[in-house]
């Protein structure tokens, strides 16, 4: 039986802070609207972590079975690629993680809507099931959407729109149109992380037929797309803060974009994209910092 350290490594802990950024922003919005609930917040965090860990196990399995993870891969070696876990191990992990996540999602839905709001409960149950399917189908199966340039779309939807707007709705059971701005920001920044990963692996992915957007756009097009994502993210966030700010503390979260400006310069000046692996952590942690600063600022 593989050790706990092996399972922890396969869960890819460095991806987890980014996954909860949307929940932190949704919680911050709830604090601003006096709709915050600690139990809902905690369960939403656990559910999101479940989705991300499930996705990581499924990606390890899907890419391993397809042979995408090979000696040409630049990033950290995957568990199946390294021989630490077998396909059977990862299948069991996917089933167990899915089951645990379903229980958490059901608890979250009940905590938010109780027994009387059947339609809302059903809607969020379907969203939860869709998130589980999306986490698995990114690389698993013949119709894996990550191999067809659609990964960015699903990350934007689930990390951004569903993560921020969905979590806020669990608290307040309504949404303001202005909340779309921070949701788009978190979605765009999350896509930046995925796209950066795909930029790094563009050459090796091309050889194995994994047609990510980085592969489809080519090196120059991939950089332009990365620039667009950043501009969308910062414009939406600054617009939201300016529209909603009541004191100087509300502007503190914008500080999180400073390391991202440096990151953009690094991407612009890096000709060999296989060298971009260290930048993934910078973008992910900057996004997490943005969410934390917003949440803490909303609390005070």
Over residues 208-232, the pLDDT tens digits come to: 888 999 999 999 999 999 999 999 9
DSSP string, 126-185: HHHHHHHHHHHHTTSSTT-GGGTT-HHHHHIIIIIIIIIIIHHHHHHS---GGGHHHHHH
pLDDT for position 300: 85
pLDDT for position 67: 65
Is the distance from CB of 226 to CB of 199 less than 8 angstroms?
yes
What is the average pLDDT across 268-291? 95
Q: What is the pTM of this model?
A: 0.94
What is the average pLDDT across 42-50? 97
User: Taking 90 as the threshold, does the pLDDT of residue 62 lie above it?
Assistant: no
pLDDT for position 63: 78
In this predicted model, what pLDDT tens digit does every residue of 101-139 receive, in sequence order? Answer: 999 999 999 999 998 899 999 999 999 999 999 999 988
Model confidence at 141, pLDDT cuts 50, 70, 90, reads confident
Give the sign of the dihedral formed by CA 267, CA 273, CA 278, CA 284.
positive
């Amino acid at each position: 039986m593989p050790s706990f350290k092996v399972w922890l490594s396969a869960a890819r802990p460095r991806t987890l802070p980014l996954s909860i950024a949307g929940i932190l922003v949704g919680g911050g919005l709830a604090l601003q609207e006096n709709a915050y609930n600690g139990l809902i917040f905690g369960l939403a965090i656990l559910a999101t972590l479940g989705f991300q860990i499930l996705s990581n196990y499924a990606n390890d399995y899907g890419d391993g079975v397809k042979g995408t993870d090979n000696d040409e891969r630049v990033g950290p070696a995957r568990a199946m690629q390294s021989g630490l876990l077998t396909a059977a191990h990862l299948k069991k992990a996917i089933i167990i993680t899915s089951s645990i996540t379903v229980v958490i999602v059901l608890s979250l839905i009940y905590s938010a809507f109780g027994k009387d709001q059947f339609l809302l409960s059903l809607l969020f149950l379907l969203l939860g099931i869709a998130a589980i399917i999306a986490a698995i189908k990114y690389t698993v199966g013949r119709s894996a959407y990550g191999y067809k340039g659609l990964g960015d779309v699903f990350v934007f939807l689930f990390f951004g729109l569903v993560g921020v707007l969905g979590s806020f709705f669990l608290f307040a059971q309504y949404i303001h149109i202005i909340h779309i701005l921070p949701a788009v920001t978190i979605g765009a920044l999350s896509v930046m992380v995925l796209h950066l990963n795909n930029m790094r692996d563009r050459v090796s992915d091309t050889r194995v037929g994994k047609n990510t957007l980085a592969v489809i756009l080519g090196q120059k097009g991939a950089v332009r797309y990365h620039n667009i994502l950043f501009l969308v993210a910062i414009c939406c966030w600054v617009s939201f803060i300016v529209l909603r700010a009541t004191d100087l503390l509300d502007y503190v979260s914008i500080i999180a974009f400073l390391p991202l400006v440096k990151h953009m310069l690094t991407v612009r000046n890096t000709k060999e994209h296989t060298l971009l692996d260290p930048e993934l952590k910078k973008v992910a942690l900057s996004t997490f910092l943005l969410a934390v600063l917003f949440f803490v600022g909303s609390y005070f």
